[in-house]
Structure 1
């Protein structure tokens, strides 16, 4: 099938690294991690080796994304920060949508290992461009990473994702009448408790630490919290579609690997074109009208997807409703982060940046797991992929997955994200 992007931890460490190292040194670290991961994955001999390669790539990405946004926030003119954040958001928004398209092309015409090989030229071009353009504009500070902080975050996030996975396995087992349902449920509860305990310990040690991994005081800002929530919900829906559409297209609607990947391409290209435009509109008109309108358009796309995708649906219909969703999503996603960062004082922007990117990646991992659960539960006990009953079950699981994504998307514009706290409080163009 079409490869699906998985997210790995790495972002929280960015705050320390950004203080202790120059931007150029961080960038070199990112490139080395990604190139090493690509080469290892291309020559992998077994699954543990492939997983290690993906962890290296995930660590590189986890540092690269906040580094990019931090450079934009530090070095951009205030009058153009919305547009430039839109360009950065374009990368975050479009890459997961392009992934299935590239995966579909590679899966159709090349051996699967080439999906890692074709990334290498882009990384080398990025290396040359980065060395010529990335400069350190603020002085660095001495900083040290507390291993306990990193361990607590890693354990908390990983256990949370696996708890969702085991919970889905428990529901699937119940559907099949499997006696392992109780065991799976107990494992899910235990993992969830471990995750909660690890995150509580992290919050406690961070509050007491002189130099925490990420200063959670940024969460005291009500507006920042709402912006962060909306950002996480938008990412959840996008990654959910990135998983569900290609898999449901192949298993439930008879599409080829190539067609299942290409169906996302028009929406991804639209997102690439719209994100910088949305930032320019934010600079010119402020946040309320552009963001709220865009979220409503995105919600319309999710509702249409949930309402009209069913037995007999064509790939054209999948692509059309996804296109509508991406039109709204790309016009508000980066702006949500821009406005959330704007309410923070300068000394907390690096921490806010780290939290946005941390929860963005966690949201992607959770979305993939949740959508897999919808398909797995629906398919349980309905034969193999070639059976008509299995195909019908897959269509049903996809439908309810799309309904769930529509509900999640409906929560984004319901938050006060787009509403300034004061009549003249434009949190972006006029407030930074």
Structure 2
């Protein structure tokens, strides 16, 4: 037992601990080949295996609250960009770097989190991540000009990139397999509600205050999370030696950074990109190919930065593939639907944010339910209906036109988000749960890295289709509102086509054949 693990760690704040279910059925975990939680047995453990280590509930609760804050920060900038560009006197291409720079920093840092989580303790990583995020928020709040504001966003992104993989890895290490669905479902609230609340919060603030207040409001919350971390976070997992390969880090930055930058350029539309998108895309894909090859060679030496063997695990690979399609739909929809509400229906930024809110709240409400059901029935009875709901929501949205009712839009968005709730939690839990415990950091690093790629790809796909279709209709003399509506229809239609792949792939999802049962040592 580590002397730092004192009484403070065993008495978490009730508000944080409330996020983690403290009681529940202690049924033996089940796994069946059909994914329905049938009678085929797997390794079981005694009742103590269902108990959380002392301090785990408070720790994960604090991690989830912190993750909510950093994800909220990711989504508030879209609504504020127009005001920022006016106040700072920068062009749209320059202002877009506040989002692009953030995504690039995430793409560079996340691949290294597998190494970081092996080499450093939970306490060290949490304090470092929240210190970076708090510092970046403070810099952004007082920024005298665009360059300093961009610096603040980059520093923020450095902290954000560490938090989400840290949450996932900590959950997998500390939570018994029979209760992971519940906790991952709670994490689904963070993933879903924060992006929904972000634009609404930004719209409310900008309705009466300057853009600086977006960061000023967030600063005390981030600082409080940091102070609670300094006070409460203790080390509940063990570190182990790990080698940081500088060449791999550089290749990851070039590969994933180039890919995401190229996709973001595609999303800017023809004629607006400062560089031909194919250039960074080719550089990115080439960099990733060399990166993967180097990781395979390092397996025979001092160890890889990112252990790519995890994608050879069938359950992880299938779950990851379906998740990628889900995140493409999520981020693409978050971009295109607000554009329809504003450019076609003429709604204000605030009203648009409020209309997007029910979908996010629906996903947040259903995620814990999906998590609890996962612990009982396994992934496939949840993922396949979820994928069907996702597809149905996209196809309904593909019928939008200038006369569409607000009720139809809200209902379709809620159906889409409910489908995602029944996909994301089971797929994350299934995918990571199929790995050996020592591969959790690498699995979460790959999952979070490809989530960023999927978000950029979804945005690029939806915006490119919308822009191309809108431009072609305007060139034929169609009015702007109708042309934009046609573009939105096409974007969601192609999203619906891709979602059919997710429906078919969901039929292959299985609960892992075995469940890791080792107890995490407290120290």
Asked whether the two chains share a fold, i.e. TM above 0.5, the reply is yes
Q: How far apart in 2 are the matches of 1:300 and 1:379?
A: 24
Instruction: Report if the CA contact (8 A) 1:44-1:50 is conserved.
Output: yes
Cα shift readout 1:183-212 (whole Å, capped 9, x = no counterpart): 96xx33332221122111111221122221
Q: Structure 2: any 5+ residue segments left out of the alignment?
A: 1-77, 82-98, 518-523
Q: How far apart in 2 are the matches of 1:159 and 1:107?
A: 33
Q: Structure 1: any 5+ residue segments left out of the alignment?
A: 174-179, 421-425
Alignment of 1:35-54 (within 5 A): 35-54=134-153
User: Is 1:84 the equivalent of 2:170?
Assistant: no
> Alignment partner for residue 390 of structure 1, among 470, 480, 494?
480
Q: State TM-score, norm by structure 1.
A: 0.88
Q: How far apart in 2 are the matches of 1:201 and 1:23?
A: 31
Instruction: Report if the CA contact (8 A) 1:3-1:99 is conserved.
Output: no
User: Is 1:157 the equivalent of 2:256?
Assistant: yes
Structure 2 residue aligned with 1:203? 292
Structure 2 residue aligned with 1:355? 446
Structure 1 residue aligned with 2:360? 268
Cα displacement (A) at 1:64:
0.1
Structure 1 residue aligned with 2:79? 2
Q: How far apart in 1 are the matches of 2:374 and 2:231?
A: 30
Please, what is the CA RMSD of the aligned residues? 2.7
Instruction: Report if the CA contact (8 A) 2:434-2:515 is conserved.
Output: no
User: Is 1:232 the equivalent of 2:330?
Assistant: no
Q: How far apart in 2 are the matches of 1:429 and 1:318?
A: 42
Distance 1:3 1:155, change over 3 A: farther
Which has the higher mean CA deviation after the structures are superposed, 142-151 or 296-305? Answer: 142-151
Q: How far apart in 2 are the matches of 1:213 and 1:342?
A: 21
Cα displacement (A) at 1:378:
3.7
Instruction: Report if the CA contact (8 A) 2:323-2:423 is conserved.
Output: no
User: Is 1:192 the equivalent of 2:281?
Assistant: yes
Q: How far apart in 2 are the matches of 1:200 and 1:350?
A: 21
Distance 1:360 1:208, change over 3 A: same
- Number of equivalent positions: 414
Instruction: Report if the CA contact (8 A) 1:286-1:430 is conserved.
Output: no
Q: How far apart in 2 are the matches of 1:262 and 1:13?
A: 37
> Alignment partner for residue 270 of structure 2, among 161, 167, 172?
172
> Alignment partner for residue 377 of structure 1, among 468, 482, 486?
468
Q: How far apart in 1 are the matches of 2:212 and 2:197?
A: 17
Q: How far apart in 1 are the matches of 2:514 and 2:336?
A: 36
Which secondary structure does the structure 2 equivalent of 1:117 belong to? Answer: helix
> Alignment partner for residue 289 of structure 1, among 381, 389, 395?
381
Q: State TM-score, norm by structure 2.
A: 0.73
User: Is 1:218 the equivalent of 2:218?
Assistant: no
Structure 1 residue aligned with 2:160? 61
Q: How far apart in 1 are the matches of 2:211 and 2:365?
A: 29
Structure 1 segments of 4+ aligned residues over 6 angstroms from their partners: 428-432
Structure 1 residue aligned with 2:512? 427
User: Is 1:414 the equivalent of 2:504?
Assistant: yes
Instruction: Report if the CA contact (8 A) 2:398-2:489 is conserved.
Output: yes
Distance 1:306 1:80, change over 3 A: same
User: Is 1:277 the equivalent of 2:364?
Assistant: no
Structure 2 residue aligned with 1:258? 350
Cα displacement (A) at 1:390:
2.4
Instruction: Report if the CA contact (8 A) 2:182-2:368 is conserved.
Output: yes
> Alignment partner for residue 302 of structure 1, among 394, 417, 422?
394
Q: How far apart in 2 are the matches of 1:267 and 1:408?
A: 21
Cα displacement (A) at 1:133:
4.4
Which has the higher mean CA deviation after the structures are superposed, 396-405 or 61-70? Answer: 396-405
Structure 2 residue aligned with 1:317? 408
Cα displacement (A) at 1:12:
1.5
Q: How far apart in 1 are the matches of 2:219 and 2:452?
A: 23
Q: How far apart in 2 are the matches of 1:369 and 1:270?
A: 26
Distance 1:213 1:45, change over 3 A: same
Cα shift readout 1:143-196 (whole Å, capped 9, x = no counterpart): 342222122122122322333354566x735xxxxxx99x96xx3333222112
Which has the higher mean CA deviation after the structures are superposed, 96-105 or 12-21? Answer: 96-105
Instruction: Report if the CA contact (8 A) 1:98-1:265 is conserved.
Output: yes
Structure 1 residue aligned with 2:15? none
Instruction: Report if the CA contact (8 A) 2:389-2:415 is conserved.
Output: yes
> Alignment partner for residue 428 of structure 2, among 324, 334, 337?
337
Structure 1 residue aligned with 2:21? none
Instruction: Report if the CA contact (8 A) 1:267-1:319 is conserved.
Output: yes
Instruction: Report if the CA contact (8 A) 2:267-2:459 is conserved.
Output: no
Which secondary structure does the structure 2 equivalent of 1:153 belong to? Answer: helix
Which has the higher mean CA deviation after the structures are superposed, 289-298 or 121-130? Answer: 121-130
Distance 1:168 1:140, change over 3 A: closer
